[in-house]
Amino acid sequence: MSKNGGKGHEGSFRTAEKPVVEDPSGYPRYRVEPGERVSLATIDPGETEHYRKKKDVAKELERQRRRIQGLQARLYAENERGLLIVLQAMDTGGKDGTIKHVFSGVNPQGCRVSSFKTPSAEESNHDFLWRYHKSVPARGRIGIFNRSHYEDVLVVRVKGLVPEETWRERYRQINAFERNLSLDGITVLKFFLHISKDEQKRRLQSRLDNPDKRWKFSSADIKERAFWNDYQAAFDDALTNCSTEHAPWYVVPANKKWYRNLVVARTIADTLAAIDPQFPPAEEGLEKVEIPD
């Protein structure tokens, strides 16, 4: 990933029964290369490439959504491989909006969104990956994690919920977890939706000002905002330690929602195209079948 918005190096990812292929994304500049040190403070969350307004990306975004729809139909029919999409961001970063705008029109039979909040008593009595593993997509499906297993190296670190030696060990456990998924035919694609502190303030204020959006606002949002720098440091380390060939991270400039949606949609579409799912062959002899009256 190029910190100044220039082109980064092409990366690669692995899917089961396929060789390592070149990163198919049209936005390799936002991909975190394995071993690369990430500093969010040096990455512009307001970048929009050569686009200037929402209308500039409207046709291209719709084209990418249609690509996702067609490729999802093939993935579902083939029923051999799956795709797990991880979305992480600071509060108001746009996870819900990304899901709404990128996956508009996708067949819900083949797509499932899982959101993760404070662990329940049952979840807390298991290892930290247990509740996430249960929600991993089956073959033929797309799974979307709205927040994810990365909460266990983010909020638990910032709030001091576990000792440092515990959350640091989790980087290795997370990489092994994602590697196992890839070996089982599940491609893992991760997006950090990068917004500025000023943009977060604007979005929080917008929720307060709009009666129809106040339900989204909580006084806890203000308390969490006080930990902004701590969360940025935690994200820096998570992105640095857990972007791998088989489960890459993309840092997506997300101050402009319309550009965020385009980057995520195109990356997902290109990744599905590289997986290249195929409709299964039809039953032999169907050309001779006559439908009875």
What pLDDT shows up at residue 221? 87
Q: Is 291 exposed, middle or buried (0-12, 13-18, 19+ CB in 10 A)?
A: exposed
The residues with which 192 forms a beta bridge, in sequence order, are: 88, 251
Q: At 143, is the secondary structure helix, strand, or coil? A: strand
Q: Mean per-residue pLDDT for 251-266? A: 98
Sign of CA dihedral 275, 276, 279, 285: negative
What pLDDT shows up at residue 106? 93
Sign of CA dihedral 210, 216, 219, 221: negative
Give 68's contacts (C-beta < 8 A, 6+ positions apart): 102, 103, 106, 265, 268, 269, 272
**CA separation (Å) from 62 to 66, 142, 221, 263?**
6, 19, 33, 12
Query: What are the φ/ψ torsions at residue 82 (nearest 5 degrees)?
Result: -135, 175
Res 267 pLDDT > 80: yes
Res 236 pLDDT > 50: yes
Q: Report whether 170 contacts 128 (CB < 8 A).
A: yes
**Per-domain residue ranges of the chain:** 12-277
Which one-letter amino acid corresponds to residue 258? W
pLDDT band at 15 (very low <50, low <70, confident <90, very high): very low
pLDDT band at 5 (very low <50, low <70, confident <90, very high): very low
The Cα 3–Cα 120 span in angstroms is 39
pLDDT band at 242 (very low <50, low <70, confident <90, very high): very high
Q: Please give the share of the chain, as a percent, with pLDDT higher than 90.
A: 81
What pLDDT shows up at residue 2? 43
Res 24 pLDDT > 80: no
Res 21 pLDDT > 70: no
What pLDDT shows up at residue 26? 55
The Cα 96–Cα 229 span in angstroms is 23
Which helix (H) or strand (E) segment holds residue 127: the answer is: none
What pLDDT shows up at residue 283? 86
Which one-letter amino acid corresponds to residue 94? G
What pLDDT shows up at residue 97? 97
Q: At 112, is the secondary structure helix, strand, or coil? A: strand
Q: Mean per-residue pLDDT for 135-156? A: 97
Which residue did the predictor score with more confidence, 269 or 216?
Answer: 269
Q: At 214, is the secondary structure helix, strand, or coil? A: helix
The Cα 74–Cα 71 span in angstroms is 5
What pLDDT shows up at residue 8? 34
**Kindly report the CA angle at 79 between 76 and 83, in degrees rounded to 5?**
70
Strands (E), the chain: 12-13, 21-22, 82-89, 111-115, 142-146, 186-194, 249-253
Res 4 pLDDT > 70: no
Q: Please give the share of the chain, as a percent, with pLDDT higher than 70.
A: 91
Task: Say which CATH architecture domain 12-277 belongs to.
Answer: 3-Layer(aba) Sandwich (3.40)
Max CA pair span of the chain: 71
pTM value is: 0.89
Q: Which residue has the tokens 């992105």?
A: 239
The 10s digit of each residue's pLDDT in 28-83 is 889 999 999 999 999 999 999 999 999 999 999 999 999 999 999 999 999 999 99
Angle, nearest 10°, between helix axes 228-241 and 164-183? 40
Mark 9-31 as b/e (b = at least 16 C-beta within 10 Å): eebbbbbbeeeeeebbbebbbbb
